[in-house]
Amino acid sequence: MRWIIALAIALLATNATAMRLKDIADLQGVRSNQLIGYGLVVGLPGTGEQSRYTEQSFATMLSNFGINLPANVRPKTKNVAAVAVHAELPPFTKPGQQIDITVSSVGSAKSLRGGTLLQTFLKGADGQVYAIGQGSLVVSGFSADGADGSKVLQNTPTVGRIPGGAMVERAVPSPFANGDFLTFNLHRADFSTAKAVVDEVNGLLGPGVARALDAASIQVSAPRDPSQRVAYLATLENLRVEPADEAAKVIVNSRTGTIVVGRNVRLMPTAITHGGLTVTIKELPQVSQPNPFADGTTVVTPNSAIGVQQQDSRMFKLDAGTSLDELVRAVNEVGVAPSDLMAILEALSQAGALRGELVVI
């Protein structure tokens, strides 16, 4: 256990600005799994639905209890709603544990408030049943309809949650205790960050303990004994690493007007001028009315008034290697709107003066 003591001492002396390994990487094979199922919510106060598939599902449920409806009888299902049920199965969850589930209407039900979900099988991507859901729904939204067609709606009354509403019946196999290695996958692939992780691990535990497989994956030797492997990871995931700087990028969201400029963005020597041109067009139609008892018709003559207003434009110069702070300060002095700033950044990129990638989303 000497390597654990050495690692714990090193963690205390690490730069406080660095990030923990658990914050920048995930352990390969240790992840949650998505579950989904189809079921019925009953007990609704007339806010259910009358649809073919709801009636069929309701009839199938009754047949499971030995009740067979005649073929020409349509059950009234205004108190029943067909729903989709989904959940996240966390890693290492064992049979007998409970997980939260979300229940959503798939038909025309008005509200799930007051309803109860009947036993629903939740399956994984492999088609196997991993949990069974059942229970009373917690619905935050509500709706109310008036006789005159008016309607009040708050939040979403057709979606509800059941805390601890599913009982896990099958565990997902995990490769955590298999093999002699563990692999960390970086959230953002970067060769410099991968090398920094390898250097930190090898500097503490010895050469060859960690090696980078590519820009995103770092393979680390690990003990085979499960209890030792847990203690190993409990300390290793708290190892602090200084991530490499991101590539120089300018992110522009053309829909919301949001602009994010990375700190490594630089500009070549550039002179920029920007001015706003406002054009106003007003329609003032004129009506020509004939004299009384004259043999004529009323004529509408179009009349357009066009106004042009040119705002004062100012030029500012950016020297070589201009930083983010200087760029923001210069743009604020001009007082441009986000849409105008997008045009300036695009022009700088076209001119080759923007030392960074312009990404428009």
Of 1 and 290, more confident: 290
Q: How confident is the model at residue 24 (pLDDT cuts 50, 70, 90)?
A: very high
Q: At residue 170, what are phi and psi to the nearest 5 degrees?
A: -145, 135
**Does position 351 have pLDDT exceeding 80, yes or no?**
no
Q: How far is CA 190 from CA 25, 114, 185, 243, in A?
A: 12, 50, 11, 9
Pick from 321, 358, 28, 32: nearest CA to 172:
32
What structural domains does the chain harbor? 2-30+175-241 (3.90.1150), 33-168 (no CATH), 249-360 (no CATH)
Model pLDDT, residue 281: 46
Whole-number Cα distances in Å, 40 to 33, 63, 136, 138, 154: 23, 14, 12, 15, 23
What CA–CA distance (Å, rounded) separates 30 from 229? 14
Q: How many whole angstroms separate alpha carbon 318 and alpha carbon 326?
A: 8
Closest CA to 37 of 126, 116, 121, 161: 121
**Pure H helices in 155-223:** 191-205
What average pLDDT score do residues 92-114 get?
A: 93
Q: What is the pLDDT of residues 103-112, one digit of tens each?
A: 999 988 889 9
How much is the average pLDDT of 170-177? Answer: 88
